[in-house]
């Protein structure tokens, strides 16, 4: 709606501070929409006033950082954000949380329980069949930021016995911590390759050719936490077991002892032990992978989850 030039960025910044936008109002007036669905707290705060003015039912979906990191602390910016978010959640016709964890945070921040619902977004299922040839032992996919816990993963790999010095590890993704993490990886005896940002299809290809997905997401210093973690579902759909922390919404995507292992958050020693266990017991790893595929098919298939979202639209339109 606004160009990504200097004036466009200024306009978006002013709208974010609550200044009115003729373009947004005109777009809604011309849309003939029966329901407005906005994602993430900040964008929902902006849209809320226009939905109310136009008397159009408004669905707000909350994801993660919008109810964890951004709403954490006592800094003036966080306090103002929480006040505006509470007003938005009360105005909303329905509030959708992507996990039970996010549902709890939403209610804490003022979402009325009687109009708040947990709805898993879901993912496209991968074709089942014979397992791919495994070229990588441990793979990580995600942004290289504090919340994703890659430093803990590298420390866990460093703690593995010497028998695992020849394993292959691939880190897929980019971010502000990349150079620091690459430096940390250079002292490890095993091969750790940073591949940078890849396309979704390339990332999925690496998942299918890996023995373990390791993603020890943890609470960042600013309070940012994992709402669910779609990559855990993608790993399960690819038929590989997951090792992670019992953090945020991750236990809703990884069934401890059934589709993977969840270490205590921040327990690098336990994380390392679980990685070693799955590298050693390939039969167990295979069983976890197959159980993960079944779990995704039953609970997170986008072809099943989308009709459920459509029902929320239909109910909201009648509210």
Has residue 20 been placed in a domain? no
Mean pLDDT, residues 74-96: 96
Cα 289 to Cα 105, 180, 209, 243, distances in angstroms:
30, 32, 12, 12
Q: Could you tell me if 174 and 144 are in contact, meaning their C-beta atoms sit under 8 angstroms apart?
A: yes
- Residue found under tokens 């999925």: 204
Same domain as 203, residue 64: no
268-280 helix and 150-158 helix, angle to the nearest 10 degrees: 60
Range list of β-strands (E), the chain = 36-39, 58-62, 94-97, 116-118, 136-141, 168-172, 191-196, 210-215, 242-245, 260-263
User: Do 118 and 171 belong to one domain?
Assistant: no
Chain-centre distance for alpha carbon 8: 28
Confidence of residue 318 (pLDDT cuts 50, 70, 90): confident
DSSP state of 125: P
Least confident of 26-30, 88-92, 108-112, 137-141: 26-30
Residues 6+ apart with CB under 8 A from 162: 189
Among 210, 183, 205, residue whose Cα is nearest residue 194: 183
Query: 114 with 249, same domain?
Result: no
Amino acid 29: pLDDT:
79
Same domain, 118 and 163: no
Q: Are residues 52 and 171 in the same domain?
A: no
Q: What is the pLDDT of residue 47?
A: 93
Average pLDDT over residues 201-212: 95
Alpha helices in 55-149 (DSSP H): 76-91, 100-108
pTM of the model: 0.91
* Residue-level pLDDT at 7: 62
145 and 113 assigned to the same domain: no
Round to whole Å and give the CA distance between 4 and 10: 9
Residues 307 and 280 in one domain: no
* 2 confidence band (pLDDT: 50, 70, 90): low
* Residue 41 host element (H or E): helix 41-54
* Spatial separation of the C-alpha atoms in residues 131 and 203, rounded to whole Å: 16
Structural domain count, the chain? 2
Same domain as 159, residue 66: no
DSSP 8-class letter at 261: E
Q: What is the DSSP letter of 170?
A: E
Q: Is residue 22 part of a domain?
A: no
Instruction: State whether 195 and 168 are in the same domain.
Output: yes
Among 20-24, 104-108, 183-187, 259-263, name the one with the lowest average pLDDT: 20-24
As a whole number of angstroms, the distance between CA 118 and CA 89 comes to 14
Note the pLDDT of residue 286.
95
Q: Would you place residue 11 in the very low, low, confident or very high pLDDT band (cuts 50, 70, 90)?
A: low
Q: Across all residues in the chain, what is the average pLDDT?
A: 93
Convert the pLDDT of each residue in 290-310 to its tens digit.
999 999 999 999 999 999 999
> CA torsion sign, 210 to 259 to 287 to 152?
positive
Is the model more confident about 54 or about 149? 149
Which is higher by pLDDT, 309 or 19?
Answer: 309
Nearest Cα to Cα of residue 89 among 63, 69, 62, 64: 62
Domain that holds residue 187: 136-299
**Are 96 and 151 found together in one domain?**
no
**Res 17 pLDDT > 70:** no
Mean pLDDT of all residues in 55-60:
95
DSSP 142: S
Evaluate whether residue 14 is within a structural domain. Answer: no
Indicate which CATH number applies to the domain containing 237.
3.40.50.2000
* Pairwise pLDDT comparison (126 vs 232), residue with the higher score: 232
169 shares a domain with 294: yes
User: Is the predicted pLDDT of residue 1 greater than 60, yes or no?
Assistant: no
pLDDT of 263 above 60:
yes
46: its two tokens = 């902006």
Identify the residue with better confidence: 136 or 16: 136
Q: Is residue 27 part of a domain?
A: no
The CA–CA distances, whole Å, from 49 to 8, 45, 52, 187, 235 equal 21, 8, 5, 54, 39
Q: What is the mean pLDDT of residues 282-296?
A: 96
- 211-221 pLDDT, tens digit each: 999 999 999 99
Q: Please report the pLDDT score of residue 129 as a whole number.
A: 63
What tens digit of pLDDT does each residue of 143-201 get?
A: 999 999 999 999 999 999 999 999 999 999 999 999 999 999 999 999 999 999 999 99
């Amino acid at each position: 709606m606004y160009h990504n030039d200097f004036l466009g960025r200024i306009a978006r910044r002013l709208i974010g501070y609550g200044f009115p936008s003729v373009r947004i109002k005109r777009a809604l007036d011309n849309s003939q929409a029966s329901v407005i669905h906005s994602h993430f707290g900040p964008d929902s705060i902006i849209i809320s006033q226009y939905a109310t003015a136009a008397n159009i039912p408004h669905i707000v979906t909350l994801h993660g950082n919008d109810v964890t990191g951004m709403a954490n602390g006592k800094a003036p910016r966080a306090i103002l954000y929480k006040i505006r978010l509470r007003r938005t959640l009360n105005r909303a016709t329905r509030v959708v949380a992507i996990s039970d964890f996010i549902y709890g945070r939403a209610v804490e921040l003022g979402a009325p329980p009687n109009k708040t619902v947990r709805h898993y977004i879901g993912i496209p299922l991968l074709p089942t069949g014979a397992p791919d040839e495994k070229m990588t032992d441990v793979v990580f996919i995600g942004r290289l930021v504090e919340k994703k816990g890659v430093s803990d993963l590298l420390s866990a790999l460093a703690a593995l016995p010497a028998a695992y010095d020849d394993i292959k590890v691939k880190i897929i993704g980019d971010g502000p911590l990349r150079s620091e993490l690459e430096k940390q990886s250079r002292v490890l005896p095993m091969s750790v390759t940073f591949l940078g940002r890849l396309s979704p299809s390339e990332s999925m290809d690496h998942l299918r050719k890996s023995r373990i997905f390791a993603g020890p997401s943890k609470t960042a210093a600013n309070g940012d936490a994992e709402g669910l973690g779609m990559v855990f579902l993608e790993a399960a759909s690819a038929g590989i077991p997951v090792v992670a922390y019992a953090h945020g919404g991750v236990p809703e995507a990884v069934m401890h002892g059934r589709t993977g292992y969840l270490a205590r958050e921040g327990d690098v020693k336990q994380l390392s032990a679980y990685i070693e266990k799955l590298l050693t017991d390939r039969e167990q790893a295979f069983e976890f992978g197959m159980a993960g595929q079944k779990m995704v098919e039953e609970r997170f298939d986008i072809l099943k989850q989308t009709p459920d979202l459509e029902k929320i639209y239909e109910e909201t339109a009648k509210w």
